[in-house]
């Protein structure tokens, strides 16, 4: 900051009589003698008592200190300024400094460095720029009070502040950092705001759940990383509004991390506001605790609670993917068999899943003849069905109990050709699941019903576009064991999902090559619910967003033989999972003031799925189908699936079907079906080749009306 002088006043001073000048000097001399015992004018001295300070002071390497209990009143601009060549200088205030109506109380000029500026007392100002830094301040540490009394720019930084630590109190505070650099900002005050550029590194200081720093970006710009200062003390819970008015594009570190054995993350509360969520602390006994039944404990440390929450989210995503997937399968079938006149298809799948991989097996069987199908639906419509049974076992983790999931689903669909290149249809899907959680008896029974409409349209140059949209209703009946107590609850949900698929069919006669790009979206809202029982929990409503973008290439080929045909097929697809993480907020019914948050992690973002297989058909009603599927995730996880099926219909209208498949746990089965006088008789035998060697047999007789 440049200093200015009034030349006219200096000239007038020289025109004064000599006696008057002598009187002024004598007055100053006697004033200094009288006050020398109580106040030193040495800029590098320690100021032990209260006194006014006049004039400017050049800080040297020995520094200046205002002692505790002393009050210094300053009536000059740039009261303390760094002297050239004294980059180790310092200013320490342990008392009170009152800056009067003059700017630049502490001034660091361009190219100069103030080593330390430490305030443990009180600094007040009625003038702008209490601290004006145009050079470098190596360390600015405020553990006292900075009060501007409404004056602008308590701190004005156009230079560099290497490190600033604020654990004190800010009153009427204004901090401008326009064109300047703040390398690291450590803060415990809830009222810290900056105008201009964000600090490069922001470290929150947390002393308790009610005493922690808050930073208001005030529409500032620039990339800023977030972390927890190493002097902090944290515990499980939510620290609201730790950052405000900072966009996600400027904020780094929202994915979270660990601190002193605790997992933390930032959650967007909307309008560029962020809260710090500490979800788990190993020191609080999160590992292995289950069903404590203590209302003072953190429910997110209960492995059965976490397991239940994970199952609910998993059921939502499975419902979404199954609903979109079944229609995608149907449309793929229509493309591959577009030259056929009868497009009705009845398909049953049996899936055996575990934590490592998913195995699939399929039994193909026609339970309703074409003649009967035509009596149910009009001639121009085709019908299709798809059913599945899924058995999943997921082992326990540090945070969650083991889970055994049995799922059954059935889908019915109808579609028609509007013209040669356009198909319209609709489908219904019902899904139910039974899940055992942990070893204490906790469980979830889930049901959902979906309805979808879909359409496929041919475009120019063999391009096509396919789309579907659907609505669903979900219901979960939840039982949770906590010690000897049983807590019950019921949770409903609503689901909206859709899919758009763009592709091109490269027709080479009996060989088709189809590149595709598919985009799937799903949104689910789970209602709030409250448990009934001892130490019951209340769960806030939950919003789950699912998204998947897929880029794929598939082929179909037909090799015609004398009395049969061979149809090889295959595909490869890259999928990008864009699903957002989902948080669940929980509190005890008996304590609504304390809220806990559990964060649901997203799955692997990148996956590659490849399929290769064939269908072999003869004129003697023999169908052999086989395929191999490989799903590879980004974190070395993978899924291998083998499918093999045989379907034969004799001249006596007796149908024989065999299936074999699996990966880690192999399964085999045989099915025999025959229609006798309108009754469908069916015998099913299943064998599992695992450590349990489970065997199942089923005989049924069904009459359709």
Cα of 90 vs its chain's centroid, Å? 45
From CA 129, how far away is CA 105, in angstroms rounded?
7
Which CA distances in Å does 316 have to 22, 493, 537? 93, 9, 21
CA-based nearest residue to 263, from 605, 602, 594, 598? 598
Residue 151: pLDDT above 60?
yes
Structure tokens at 363: 């039994």
pLDDT (0 to 100) of residue 564: 84
What is the band of 355 on the pLDDT scale with cuts at 50, 70, 90? very low
Residue 632: pLDDT above 90?
no
**Is residue 247 within 8 Å of 175, Cβ to Cβ?**
no
pLDDT (0 to 100) of residue 39: 35
From CA 696, how far away is CA 705, in angstroms rounded?
29
**Is residue 119 within 8 Å of 154, Cβ to Cβ?**
no
How many CA atoms lie less than 13 Å away from 146 in the CB half-sphere? 29
Mean pLDDT of the region 439-451 = 91
Residue 127: pLDDT above 80?
no
pLDDT (0 to 100) of residue 540: 92
pLDDT (0 to 100) of residue 35: 38
pLDDT (0 to 100) of residue 288: 34
Residue 12: pLDDT above 80?
no
**Of the ranges 21-30, 231-240, 491-500, 660-669, which one carries the lowest mean pLDDT score?**
21-30
Residue 646: pLDDT above 60?
yes
Sign of CA dihedral 22, 25, 28, 29: negative
pLDDT (0 to 100) of residue 370: 42
Residue 602: pLDDT above 70?
no
pLDDT (0 to 100) of residue 6: 40
What element of type H or E holds 565?
strand 564-577
pLDDT (0 to 100) of residue 376: 52
From CA 89, how far away is CA 195, in angstroms rounded?
28
Strands 529-530 and 537-539: antiparallel
Considering 620-624, 626-630, 638-642, the range whose residues carry the highest mean pLDDT is: 626-630
From CA 331, how far away is CA 452, in angstroms rounded?
13
What is the band of 239 on the pLDDT scale with cuts at 50, 70, 90? very high
**Of the ranges 48-52, 451-455, 516-520, which one carries the lowest mean pLDDT score?**
48-52
What is the band of 605 on the pLDDT scale with cuts at 50, 70, 90? confident
- Which of helix, strand or coil describes residue 650? coil
Residue 199: pLDDT above 70?
yes
Strands 145-147 and 169-171: parallel
Bridge partners of 305, per DSSP, are none
pLDDT (0 to 100) of residue 557: 84
Q: Which residues contact 161 (CB under 8 A, 6 or more apart)?
A: 133, 136, 137, 140, 180, 181, 182, 183
From CA 342, how far away is CA 181, in angstroms rounded?
72
Average confidence score pLDDT of the chain: 76
Mean pLDDT of the region 436-447 = 90
pLDDT (0 to 100) of residue 542: 92
From CA 630, how far away is CA 581, in angstroms rounded?
26
Q: pLDDT exceeding 70 applies to what percent of the chain? A: 70
pLDDT (0 to 100) of residue 160: 93
């Amino acid at each position: 900051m440049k200093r200015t002088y009034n030349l006219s006043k200096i000239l007038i001073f020289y025109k004064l009589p000599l006696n008057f000048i002598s009187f002024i000097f004598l007055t100053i001399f006697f004033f200094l003698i009288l006050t020398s015992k109580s106040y030193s004018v040495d800029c590098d001295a320690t100021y032990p008592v209260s006194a006014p300070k006049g004039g400017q002071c050049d800080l040297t390497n020995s520094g200046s200190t205002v002692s505790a209990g002393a009050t210094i009143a300053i009536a000059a601009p740039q009261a303390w300024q760094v002297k050239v060549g004294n980059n180790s200088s310092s200013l320490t205030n342990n008392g009170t400094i009152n800056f009067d109506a003059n700017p630049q109380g502490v001034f660091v000029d361009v190219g100069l460095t103030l080593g330390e500026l430490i305030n443990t007392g009180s600094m007040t100002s009625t003038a702008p720029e209490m601290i004006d830094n145009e050079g470098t301040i190596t360390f600015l540490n405020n553990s006292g009070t900075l009060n501007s009394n409404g004056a602008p720019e308590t701190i004005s930084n156009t230079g560099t502040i290497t490190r600033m630590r604020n654990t004190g109190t800010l009153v009427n505070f204004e901090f401008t950092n326009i064109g300047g650099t703040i390398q690291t900002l450590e803060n415990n005050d809830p009222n810290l705001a900056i105008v201009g550029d964000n600090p490069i590194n922001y470290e929150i200081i947390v002393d308790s759940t009610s005493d922690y720093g808050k930073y208001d970006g005030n529409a500032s710009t620039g990339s800023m990383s977030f972390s927890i200062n190493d002097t902090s003390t944290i515990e499980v819970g939510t620290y609201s509004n730790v950052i405000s008015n900072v966009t996600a594009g400027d904020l780094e570190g929202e994915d979270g991390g660990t601190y002193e054995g605790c997992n933390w993350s930032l959650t967007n509360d909307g309008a560029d506001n962020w809260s710090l969520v500490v979800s788990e602390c190993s020191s609080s006994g999160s590992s292995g605790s289950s069903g404590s039944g203590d209302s003072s404990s953190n429910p997110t440390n209960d492995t059965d609670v976490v397991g239940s929450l994970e199952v609910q989210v998993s059921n939502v995503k499975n419902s979404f993917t199954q609903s979109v997937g079944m229609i995608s399968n149907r449309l793929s079938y229509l493309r591959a068999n577009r030259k056929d006149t009868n497009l009705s298809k009845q398909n049953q799948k049996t899936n055996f899943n575990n934590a490592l991989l998913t195995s699939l097996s399929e039994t193909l069987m026609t339970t309703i003849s074409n003649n009967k199908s035509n009596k149910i639906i009009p001639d121009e419509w085709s019908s299709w069905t798809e059913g599945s049974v899924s058995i999943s076992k997921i082992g326990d983790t540090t945070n969650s109990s083991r889970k055994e999931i049995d799922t059954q689903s059935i889908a019915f669909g109808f579609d028609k050709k509007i013209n040669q290149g356009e198909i319209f249809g609709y489908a219904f899907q019902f899904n139910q699941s039974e899940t055992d959680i942990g070893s204490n008896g906790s469980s979830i029974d889930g049901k959902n019903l979906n309805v979808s409409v879909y359409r496929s349209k041919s475009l120019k140059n063999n391009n096509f576009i396919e789309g579907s949209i659907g609505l669903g209703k979900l219901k979960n009946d939840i039982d949770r064991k906590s010690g000897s107590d049983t807590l019950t609850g019921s949770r409903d949900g609503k689901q909206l999902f859709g899919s758009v698929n763009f592709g091109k069919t490269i027709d080479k006669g009996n060989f088709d090559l189809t590149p595709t790009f598919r985009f799937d979206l799903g949104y689910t809202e789970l209602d709030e619910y409250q448990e009934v029982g001892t130490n019951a929990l209340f769960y806030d409503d939950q919003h789950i967003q699912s998204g998947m973008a897929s880029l794929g290439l598939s082929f179909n080929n037909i090799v015609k033989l004398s009395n049969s045909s061979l149809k090889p097929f295959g595909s490869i697809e890259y999928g990008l999972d864009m699903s957002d993480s989902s948080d669940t907020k929980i509190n005890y019914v008996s304590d609504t003031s304390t809220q806990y948050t559990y964060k649901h992690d997203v799955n692997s973002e990148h996956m590659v799925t490849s399929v290769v297989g064939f269908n072999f058909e003869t004129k003697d009603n023999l169908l052999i189908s086989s395929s191999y599927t490989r799903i590879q995730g980004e974190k070395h996880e993978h899924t291998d699936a083998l499918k093999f099926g045989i379907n034969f219909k004799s001249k006596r209208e007796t149908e024989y079907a065999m299936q074999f498949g699996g990966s880690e746990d192999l399964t085999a089965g045989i099915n025999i079906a025959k229609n006798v006088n309108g009754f469908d008789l069916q015998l099913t035998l299943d064998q599992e080749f695992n450590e349990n060697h489970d065997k199942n047999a089923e005989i049924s007789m069904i009459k359709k009306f």
